[in-house]
């Protein structure tokens, strides 16, 4: 959470704190949202989420249908069907599981089913691995799901709550995928303020969809769609994604007023007011980068940080605005799209089209490799060089053996 953008808390009492893992925080978030149906399938490092939810249901703390499905494909199928039948649906997955359900991601979004699914970011093999990389969720970026990357366990919990508000907003009605860094958050404990149920109930009213599979008002969902009609449907989905930008901002602000934590909406910024260069980060690397920014600032270098929170919808306007005064931008990526850098880098370049500043890609932490202060320092150094007009590589592999071509 960025202290710069955090307003003074309007709350009259302190929310209780728990020292919990990111997965536990996500599960508590889902419980607080009073989800109706949770189809589940285990996969590291997400499994703790569904285990905690199973506990909640078995202990009577959560009145939900917990479905032990036989695959992730079936998880997202059941999620879509339950959502179409009027239920608030939550689930979680990771990596190979997300890839396995990929087909069904493309059913949920255009059918406007507001499912929320946490993704524990994990490398998508081969070669197989279980640690943090964004190449799992990046493959789903064009499915129509909203997608965001959280920085800590508190944000993980808070965003599950916000995600249901965003997903079920009539201007949006799209599924949302909050992503949390595998192991770095999923299996690491942090103190987390747990909102009161009554406060969440006030923030998130019951889900009342307009159209469901109801025999009293029969409707057909997912009919065969000829070319004469499908483009309008695509346009509507695109429009909903665009509308989500406004909804995300408003819901962020309301959450901040009620719970005292302001995440900035689509993006968050740190010491950007007079920054000459900026680094754009996602996920947990943001926290380490704040420290590096402080250190460089102490040395008198005017550097700032932009935390890219939402990847879909992509905050192009917001980035152009916040980066209007800088002379170079570094873009951190935790995955590679095998055509000239990471996905975030390519999106940022598109967003900043027409601006003449250098945009430099920094690939680090793929496969779960640690991203250290030294590496981030180096990212700033290279970006500073570019700002001064020195020749640097556009795509930089940090802390990586072998040649950069």
The residues binding other proteins (CB under 8 A) are 36-37, 39, 64-65, 67-71, 73-75, 77-87, 89, 103-104, 107, 111, 212-215, 218-226, 229
H-helix segments, 33-145: 47-58, 72-84, 95-100, 102-108
Opening angle at CA 248, ends 5 and 327, nearest 5: 55
Confirm if 317 and 311 have CB atoms less than 8 A apart. no
Q: How far is the CB of 85 from other proteins (least distance, A)?
A: 3
Measured from the CB atom, the residue of 73 and 320 that comes closer to other proteins is 73
Measured from the CB atom, the residue of 43 and 277 that comes closer to other proteins is 43
Confirm if 252 and 301 have CB atoms less than 8 A apart. no
Half-sphere exposure of 372 (CA within 13 A, CB side): 5
Buried b (16+ CB within 10 A) or exposed e, 259-291: bbbbbbbbbbbbbbeebebbbbbbbbbbebbbe
Q: How far is the CB of 159 from other proteins (least distance, A)?
A: 24
Structure tokens at 177: 């995928």
Q: How far is the CB of 41 from other proteins (least distance, A)?
A: 10
CA–CA distance, 312 with 137 (Å, rounded to integer) = 11
Neighbouring-strand partners of residue 329: 278, 359
Q: How far is the CB of 228 from other proteins (least distance, A)?
A: 9
Q: How far is the CB of 219 from other proteins (least distance, A)?
A: 6
Q: How far is the CB of 116 from other proteins (least distance, A)?
A: 15
Strands (E), 134-205: 146-149, 176-181, 190-193
Q: How far is the CB of 36 from other proteins (least distance, A)?
A: 5
Structure tokens at 178: 């909050």
Q: What is the torsion angle, in degrees rounded to the nearest 10, for the CA atoms of residue 404, residue 381, residue 371 and residue 23?
A: -120
Peptide bond into 122 cis (omega under 30): no
Measured from the CB atom, the residue of 96 and 327 that comes closer to other proteins is 96
Measured from the CB atom, the residue of 71 and 350 that comes closer to other proteins is 71
Measured from the CB atom, the residue of 65 and 141 that comes closer to other proteins is 65
Residue 245: phi and psi, rounded to 5, are -60, -45
Strands 310-312 and 146-149 come out as antiparallel
Q: How far is the CB of 113 from other proteins (least distance, A)?
A: 9
Measured from the CB atom, the residue of 73 and 297 that comes closer to other proteins is 73
Measured from the CB atom, the residue of 73 and 369 that comes closer to other proteins is 73
Measured from the CB atom, the residue of 75 and 92 that comes closer to other proteins is 75
Residues in the chain, how many?
405
DSSP-based three-state secondary structure for 91: strand
Q: How far is the CB of 64 from other proteins (least distance, A)?
A: 7
Measured from the CB atom, the residue of 58 and 219 that comes closer to other proteins is 219
């Amino acid at each position: 959470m960025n202290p710069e953008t955090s307003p003074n808390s309007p709350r009259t009492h302190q929310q209780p704190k728990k020292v919990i893992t990111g997965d536990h925080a996500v599960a508590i978030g889902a419980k607080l949202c009073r989800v109706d149906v949770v189809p589940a399938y285990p996969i590291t490092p997400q499994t703790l989420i569904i285990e905690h939810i199973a506990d909640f249901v078995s202990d009577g703390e959560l009145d939900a249908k917990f479905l032990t499905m036989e695959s992730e494909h079936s998880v997202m199928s059941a999620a879509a069907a339950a959502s179409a039948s009027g239920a608030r649906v939550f689930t979680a997955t990771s990596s190979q599981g997300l890839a396995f359900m990929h087909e069904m991601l493309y059913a949920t979004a255009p059918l406007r089913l507001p499912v929320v699914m946490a993704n524990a970011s994990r490398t998508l093999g081969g070669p197989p691995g279980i640690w943090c990389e964004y190449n799992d969720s990046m493959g789903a970026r064009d499915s129509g799901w909203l997608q965001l990357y959280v920085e800590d366990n508190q944000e993980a919990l808070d965003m599950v709550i916000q995600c249901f508000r965003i997903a079920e907003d009539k201007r949006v009605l799209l599924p949302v995928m909050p992503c949390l860094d595998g192991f770095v958050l999923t299996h690491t404990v942090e103190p987390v303020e747990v909102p009161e149920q009554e406060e969440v109930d006030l923030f998130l009213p019951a889900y009342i969809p307009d159209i469901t599979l109801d025999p009293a008002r029969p409707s057909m969902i997912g009919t065969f769609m000829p070319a004469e009609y499908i483009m309008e449907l695509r346009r509507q989905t695109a429009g909903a994604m665009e509308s989500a930008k406004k909804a995300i901002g408003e819901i962020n602000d309301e959450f901040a007023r009620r719970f005292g934590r302001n995440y900035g909406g689509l993006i968050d910024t740190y010491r950007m007011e007079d920054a000459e260069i900026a680094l754009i980060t996602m996920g947990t690397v943001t926290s380490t980068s704040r420290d590096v920014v402080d250190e460089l600032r102490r040395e008198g270098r005017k550097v700032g940080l932009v935390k890219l929170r939402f990847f879909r919808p992509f905050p192009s306007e917001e980035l152009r605005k916040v980066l209007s005064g800088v002379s170079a931008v570094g873009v951190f990526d935790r995955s590679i799209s095998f055509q000239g850098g990471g996905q975030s880098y390519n999106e940022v370049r598109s967003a900043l089209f027409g601006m003449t500043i250098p945009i430099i890609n920094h690939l680090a932490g793929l496969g779960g490799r640690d991203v250290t202060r030294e590496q981030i320092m180096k990212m700033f150094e290279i970006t500073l060089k570019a700002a001064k007009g020195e020749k640097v590589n556009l795509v930089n592999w940090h802390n990586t053996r072998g040649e950069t071509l």
